[in-house]
Structure 1
């Protein structure tokens, strides 16, 4: 069975929940399974600060996870309009895959969560695309045929799924955000199957 890698970093839990929703969308497509992985925290010196194996939740990603999957859903909370350092730290370690062209032609989607409505949702999704484009990946977004994209008053963009969590009140993922996460996972899986054929 073919797999889509759902790779995320989450500090408060919202991005982890989005990853699970995207995985649900991925697995709604016959013949596709979601492989959920995360990355460890890093220190200010850009060194991993967590044990080699997580005590709970998704396992840490390995380069082979990227190589073996037919598509990628990549998620991170927003940090000043960009992805969080742990995700950037991991992506910076993928040069060996880039040299081999291991990700060329594979589809990728993105997702994020911010503290405020104008807190960098879209810029984070756009900056997360850059290393994937360097790898030769094909970006799969959300088309406006998804009705929630036009009706949402919280997260949701054509660049990928997003959530507005609130700066101090940890707002739950809204129904529109939830539906868009599932739709993104499904669209990514369908695209990956077509490209793999």
Structure 2
């Protein structure tokens, strides 16, 4: 029996902010009613080659498989901004997707990004671009956030037209502002609606 269509919410979160954003993006996806949200994370990468990652995380969402990525109807991808780029664990996962590229399994599927940084100009927009680039190589259709979402104008924290973002005032700050929550939900709703349209 085929599984129902889903948008994969795939992320790496070190201190919890990106994981919190993923919940609100998934809420927006599920509110759209056309597809379901499937939340997955990627494991840490080790700075040595001697330590193996356990097959299941200690907490949070399960680790993502390449099959789950291949079978998704859309992808919302999230990472903290590290020096204006995605985190190494997420890049490591994406670097393993050559077989999906060779077979074109992600072509014409919608994708969007979300990120968090601890300073106002901590590279959030550039981080979103770093996640966008390999997905464009896969033939995916990148979705930003249009300014019909008034929170893009009113926000004094995170939020960009390139994708949802969060301003964490410290590494332990995981709570989102109301504007950030609304933008995450709006992004989830938009990708769910687009996934349904592109699937037809």
Question: Which category of TM-score, normalised to the shorter sequence, fits these structures?
Answer: over 0.9
Aligned residues: 197
> Is 2:24 the counterpart of 1:21?
yes
Query: Is the Cα–Cα contact under 8 Å of residues 4 and 73 in structure 1 kept in the other structure?
Result: yes
Residues 30 and 147 (structure 1 numbering): CA distance in 2 closer, same or farther, change over 3 Å?
A: same
Residues 46 and 178 (structure 1 numbering): CA distance in 2 closer, same or farther, change over 3 Å?
A: farther
Cα drift, residue 171 of structure 1? 5.7
Note the residue ranges of structure 2 that are not aligned, 5 or more in a row: none
Query: Is the Cα–Cα contact under 8 Å of residues 164 and 171 in structure 1 kept in the other structure?
Result: no
Residue in structure 1 matched with residue 57 of structure 2 by the alignment: 54
- Choose which of 107, 117, 123 in structure 2 pairs with 1:104: 107
Using the size of structure 2 for normalisation, the TM-score is 0.95
Using the size of structure 1 for normalisation, the TM-score is 0.96
Q: What is the 5 A alignment of 1:15-94? A: 15-45=18-48, 49-94=52-97
Q: Which moved more, 1:161-170 or 1:38-47?
A: 38-47
Note the residue ranges of structure 1 that are not aligned, 5 or more in a row: none
Residue in structure 2 matched with residue 119 of structure 1 by the alignment: 122
Residues 59 and 175 (structure 1 numbering): CA distance in 2 closer, same or farther, change over 3 Å?
A: same
Instruction: Give structure 1 regions of 4+ aligned residues with deviation exceeding 3 angstroms.
Output: 45-49
Residue in structure 1 matched with residue 159 of structure 2 by the alignment: 156
The alignment's C-alpha RMSD in Å is 1.4
